[in-house]
Structure 1
Amino acid sequence: MTTQQDKSIYTFHTSFGTISALKENGVIKAKSIRYARSERFKKPRPLEYAETQEISDKTPVCPQNVSPLLDRLIQKTDVEQFEADESPQFLTITRPEHFNEKEKLPVIVWIHGGSYEIGCGDLPTSDPSVWVKEQHIVIVSVSYRLGLFGFLGGSEERPANLGLYDMIAALQWIKKYICDFGGDPENITLFGQSSGGDAIAHLMIAEETDDLFQRAIIHSAPLGFRINRQKMSHEFFLKTDILKDEPDALKMVAGYSNFLPSFRKYGLKTSMPFCTQYGYPPLCREEETVQNWKQNAKKYDVLIGSNQDETAFYVKTSQTGIYTYLPHRILNKIVRKTTESIYEKPAKDFAENLAAGGGNVYQFVIRSTLKNNYIGASHCVDLPLLFENKEAWQSAELLKDVPWEYIQENGKKLRALWAEFARTGAISENSERPEILKLRKV
């Protein structure tokens, strides 16, 4: 446990301005650096210099609804720790404390998940300190607009894909300034989980992203939800028009929830009502996506995969609905079928399309090797492996009956492999694999 005496202020003098950071636990962390500003439904405006920044106890987040499911499965949200900001373009840089000024360290950019609807880059459950210290890398955690503010549009007045534009602005900032923090601007790997992984797949074919990153690590991207969304998105866009001028952003967020039940007719994809939208800048039309991924395949080294029991997170822990009455063998079949259709097969197709385009691609599966693990290797189980933080994860129902030593042992090996990929774009056959991992070169 870190005491106040273990913490000290560190100052970065950069071409962007003076940035205050906190030195603790063997890392230096510059929190909540504003990389851009935006007005409602407008593109982000990059900043040319650092705004006056004090180290705050509160983390800025895009206005959002609290998720009872994530509260139960991962960590109870303490709303007092967060400050809602409709312009949430912030990033946090974590760097090793012990550092040679002549070094240029590999950079991993964390794009958080949360169905394009909830979360932020800088959470205790995605604290990269252990990974940074162990592997001597720089990790940048990015926050961006979500939900109505970032991922639902369809007109000049309310453009689509503004959250993607925020990510692009963050990557442009990182490319320009990360060398002042010891990072190598020519060795940048994007790492995203769930919708964060989906966003990265789309940044690979978006306009304005050339030379902004070299590699992609894509975890549990729900690529099975990306197609045939136009009709649902357009209906959602029209229904939420009455909310667009609501001055109170939190009321606006609470208001759209009333429309969600009417979208159940669109099937499983309604569990992710917000998403990237094809046919609007900076993306191509849906029918052009596969060809564009193939054309861009040689630009990026890609590591993509999922967990073996992704949907157990939702199916086996449900406290309402039909799932609560079904026997385990039926639940297991539902988990297998939905995991395969939403995550596994789309990831396999994605990887094989990139390989067909001449890309350097690896595919992985994370599985549980514990006998008494009811949920198994569910959605998000990869996060405590990479972002080891016992205090943040200890009450997570996701890890019920999973010994913390199991997380530590497998996580350390996984972090080493993923850092190796971020450094070189390859994973050696001789590198030690954790027992939970199946990995293949495509």
Structure 2
Amino acid sequence: MTTYDGETGSAPIVTFSAGQVRGEIRDGNARFLGIPFAAAPVGPLRFALPAPAPAWEGVREATAPGATAPQNPYSGALARILPTVINTGDDFLNLNIFAPPVHGDGLLPVVVWFHGGSLQHGSNALDGYDGTAFARDGIVFVAPNYRLGAEGFSVLAGAPLNLGLADQLAALRWVQAEISHFGGNPDSVTVMGQSAGGNTVAALLAHPQASSLFKRAIIQSGPLMAQPPKDAGRITRAMAKDLGVPATRDAFMKFSPDQLLAAQARVIAGSTPLTGGAGFALALDPGLIPANPIVALESGAGSGIDLLIGTTSEEARLWLVPTGLVMKITWFHLAVARRKVGISAAAVKLFKRNRPYAVLGEVLGDLATDKLLRVPMNQVADARLARGAATFVYEFAWPSPVEYLRAAHAVELGFVFDRLASPDSLGLAGATAPQDLATDMHRAWVNFAATGDPGWEPWSLRRPVKTFDGGSNPVVSAPREDERAAITM
């Protein structure tokens, strides 16, 4: 197996089926960046299922991040706190590997990370997704890119659905075939994702081939849903109308990625995951997503795979607070929103009564967090419990002082990666984020990937939730049970 001497400045070379790559040693660990796992999805391969990466002659340099999937930067208030890295190039179906020095005959656990970003933002080139801390702690960390936005999640006549998800499956198959050359154990793979990445992990967990590709799964703040193609295709149809063409593969092929991004920006302006509007979504698909992931998971899919799943306490603050929308919500807005998603008036009154000093926007945000994420998570955990499947539930509750985000969506990322000094984490959690919490949270994720046990009791009739609050980080039994029950009714 591969070993590295750990000397900073040395250049390890690894040979696998496509050729050789030269990485670098940094901080005692090896890193290999920008390795293609599939062919560039351009030309005739555009809007098509991923094809194998071609082999190369000689040694390929793998010391700098590769190309990123075509995307627009975040706009408006989110641009202040959510970074974007755009590296141009066609070979953006690439992955980064962070590997510890390996000695002896044992292969090490693997984590495969799928970034979030509403299926239209993000990449493995973001500093916050550097896997150094995982490698330091004995994990071979893999971060693939996948197609985003119109290139990855359009609903087009003549094109497969969910191409970005197909890319993720291709990356997982690459890991099965090649990761042992980098010291990783293909029989001990944990797939991990946050937000939209958590959404795709839910779909992967429900996939019929899941057990052959990974052993464990981590879903952070991920919706557990997919939509009928007609609904998921609303943004595609809006883009087609904007461009004056039919929503077909042939028509979209005539536009460059940059032209599609411009159309995407026009039709998506003002939309957020909370307030609605045009947005990309996973589509039900006989090949990749034959059933809604939450339905499949409740029916037993993925029961042989260990699951760590959780949310932040105040997910919706990411979209409500920096934009100022939190102060603009009225009782009328609250009534319309709760009817749209099927929340009773009694539940609204309960949430308001439990938060006597909260403005209505904060009440709406907490209702949305429960309806869209926490209640479905509980339903899946209960269904898995009935089948004897191991499930561990957490809640991230530490309040970030940055822009009054508190425990908003994505604030936990710097803690999970034990990378609080990253500019990405500083933008969400600030310079005073507690290192002790990062140490504890990261260690739990490492332990889960290595052993299947993050360090607290699995889901049971007691409904235990590990609460990362930055204090004692207690395990709380059935937190806010009255509110969960009210939303479930």
Q: TM-score range by the shorter chain?
A: 0.7 to 0.9
Q: How far apart, in 2, do the equivalents of 1:144 and 1:434 lie?
A: 30
Q: What are the within-5 Å matches in structure 2 for residues 232-311 of structure 1?
A: 232-241=231-240, 242=245, 244-260=252-268, 268=274, 270=276, 273-286=279-292, 290-291=295-296, 293-311=298-316
The 8 Å contact of residues 85 and 126 in structure 2, kept in 1 or not, is answered as: no
Q: How far apart, in 2, do the equivalents of 1:204 and 1:383 lie?
A: 21
User: How far 1:174 sits from its partner (Å)?
Assistant: 0.3
Q: What are the within-5 Å matches in structure 2 for residues 35-50 of structure 1?
A: 35-37=37-39, 38=41, 39-47=45-53, 49=55
SS at match of 1:13: strand
- Specify whether residues 329 and 175 from structure 1 end up closer, same or farther in structure 2 by C-alpha distance, changes over 3 A only: same
Q: 1:126 aligns with which of 115, 123, 129?
A: 129
CA RMSD of aligned residues (A): 3.2
1:154-184 deviation line (CA, Å, top 9, x unaligned):
43x2221111111111111101111111111
Give the TM-score normalised by the residue count of structure 2.
0.78
Give the TM-score normalised by the residue count of structure 1.
0.85
The 8 Å contact of residues 11 and 21 in structure 1, kept in 2 or not, is answered as: yes
1:356-380 deviation line (CA, Å, top 9, x unaligned):
3331111111102679983211111
Q: What are the within-5 Å matches in structure 2 for residues 343-422 of structure 1?
A: 343-368=373-398, 374-393=404-423, 396-400=426-430, 403-404=432-433, 406=434, 408-422=435-449
Q: 1:89 aligns with which of 85, 89, 93?
A: 93
Residue 233 of structure 2 aligns with an amino acid whose one-letter code is H
- Specify whether residues 214 and 386 from structure 1 end up closer, same or farther in structure 2 by C-alpha distance, changes over 3 A only: same
1:273-295 deviation line (CA, Å, top 9, x unaligned):
11211134211144x85245533
Match of 1:194 in 2: 195
- Specify whether residues 372 and 279 from structure 1 end up closer, same or farther in structure 2 by C-alpha distance, changes over 3 A only: closer
Q: 2:102 aligns with which of 78, 82, 99?
A: 99
The 8 Å contact of residues 7 and 24 in structure 1, kept in 2 or not, is answered as: yes
Q: How far apart, in 1, do the equivalents of 2:233 and 2:383 lie?
A: 29
The 8 Å contact of residues 207 and 281 in structure 1, kept in 2 or not, is answered as: no
Residue 282 of structure 1 aligns with an amino acid whose one-letter code is L
Residue 304 of structure 1 aligns with an amino acid whose one-letter code is I
Question: After the TM superposition, which of the residue ranges 301-310 and 344-353 deviates more from structure 2?
Answer: 344-353
Match of 2:338 in 1: none
- Specify whether residues 269 and 375 from structure 1 end up closer, same or farther in structure 2 by C-alpha distance, changes over 3 A only: closer
Match of 1:211 in 2: 212
User: How far 1:43 sits from its partner (Å)?
Assistant: 0.5
The 8 Å contact of residues 189 and 449 in structure 2, kept in 1 or not, is answered as: yes
Q: How far apart, in 2, do the equivalents of 1:49 and 1:196 lie?
A: 29
Percent identity, please: 25
Residue 386 of structure 1 aligns with an amino acid whose one-letter code is V
Residue 236 of structure 1 aligns with an amino acid whose one-letter code is I
The 8 Å contact of residues 19 and 55 in structure 2, kept in 1 or not, is answered as: yes
Question: After the TM superposition, which of the residue ranges 348-357 and 171-180 deviates more from structure 2?
Answer: 348-357
1:225-252 deviation line (CA, Å, top 9, x unaligned):
x355544323333333436133421111
Match of 1:142 in 2: 144
Q: Which has the higher contact order (CA 8 A, sep 6+)?
A: 1
Question: After the TM superposition, which of the residue ranges 12-21 and 237-246 deviates more from structure 2?
Answer: 237-246
- Specify whether residues 397 and 93 from structure 1 end up closer, same or farther in structure 2 by C-alpha distance, changes over 3 A only: closer
Q: How far apart, in 2, do the equivalents of 1:381 and 1:125 lie?
A: 11
The 8 Å contact of residues 421 and 427 in structure 1, kept in 2 or not, is answered as: yes
Question: After the TM superposition, which of the residue ranges 53-62 and 365-374 deviates more from structure 2?
Answer: 365-374
Q: How far apart, in 2, do the equivalents of 1:182 and 1:6 lie?
A: 19
The 8 Å contact of residues 274 and 368 in structure 2, kept in 1 or not, is answered as: no
Residue 257 of structure 1 aligns with an amino acid whose one-letter code is A
Match of 2:23 in 1: 21
Q: How far apart, in 2, do the equivalents of 1:65 and 1:363 lie?
A: 33
- Specify whether residues 329 and 337 from structure 1 end up closer, same or farther in structure 2 by C-alpha distance, changes over 3 A only: same
Structure 2: state its 5+ residue gaps: 1-6, 246-250, 331-356, 459-465, 479-489
Q: State the number of aligned residues.
A: 422
